[in-house]
Structure 1
Amino acid sequence: LSPGPALINKAHHYKKYANMWRITDDFWDDWRLLKDMFERCEIWQTHTGDGNWPDCDMLPLNVLGYGWGHGEWHTKFTEDEQKTMLTLWSIFRSPLMIGTDLPRLNQFTLDLLSNDEILQMNKSPYQSRMISNSCHEDIVIWSNKSIDGGLFYCYFNLSDDEKECSFELMNKSENKSKITIRDLWNHTGLDSSTNFKIKPHGNMAFMVK
């Protein structure tokens, strides 16, 4: 469905008669719209799960505008903002629909859309959730379970400044000596005692087992 934006008080109606519905107006390459999507996802988080897909709308990437009568342009999202967008859509389990001219994909966009470690979050049948944190007020954290029993943690920096975080949140519920942490964007393992920095408008995504 594309009621855009869907009404949260009609959520049970949507879930009964549809499996996908838009939760936003048309989404374009504007950081303000992307930042606002975090609040929308928080509102709708209890209505995701197997068989239900609240829809954050298309992913405006690479070349845009062709065929709309307004000329064309390259997405205004920075590379970090594009990663943040794909990470949020994936952990929230939004449908992943690409808005671009596919034959003209550049290497960055191709690499972005073919990162299987990020995309695996979108395949989880479980309900994702936004969780509290003790890093900074501008850091938003989402988590979900993976199919193989691991846990996804995604840290988002919504501020205009670089922020530093730690794995303190994970260590509260995990045996620190036994967990393994994998960086899903850089495809590397990390030590649970390591602090990490998140660029402005950027994110870090991890698999914890």
Structure 2
Amino acid sequence: ASTGNILTNEDLTARNTVTSGTVAAKNLKVDNLTNDGKISANGNLLAKDIKNTGEILTNGNLTAKNVSSMGDITVVGKVSADSLKSSGSLRTNEDLSINGKFDNDGTVETSKNVAVSGDINNTGKILVSGNLSGKNTVSSGVIASKNVVVDNLKNDGKITAGENITAKKVTNTGDIAAAGTVSSDDMATSGTVKANKTVTVSGKLENDGTVETAEDVKVSG
């Protein structure tokens, strides 16, 4: 455990690191990282488990098995994790890739894509300059992306896409808006669904709200 400062221009490798002070290194490799202070890596940060209530800054990539953060994480490179739970802020200039589940109660911003192999649970903000993809997605917060491609989508919040939104099943009580198309197998909405192009439902459409489009609403079911 460290409450002071660890500063090195070289790589730092450790098994378990608990810090409420400052750690700065070229590349940082640890098994279990618990941070309540400030960690700065000029290169990459590699860890198995990260628990963060402080600040993490890396100029390279951040790669971990499990990430749980109530603090701030800023990454110039890519972020890769098996699971991510964030109630703080996470920013990356590259892709955010999650092999498992993604829980967000804070603000996540990425300049490129967010790719999630598991489910997404969002009560915060997910702001993506590129594309967002995931499995079953439940959101009562805000999602903004270029394209949104997920399996089942349950929205009680606000979802906007600069291009298209594609899902298997859509359950909506909030607002969904796409500059392009909205496409789903089935849709049940009591909220608002807007598209500048077509809204396509290949199966069943249940609408107690507003479906608005500049072009066509196509329902096959």
Query: TM-score if structure 1 supplies the norm length?
Result: 0.29
Q: Which of the two has higher C-alpha Rg?
A: 2
Identify, as 1 or 2, the structure richer in strand: 2
Structure with more contact order per residue of length (Cα contacts < 8 Å, sep ≥ 6): 1
Return the structure number with greater helix share: 1
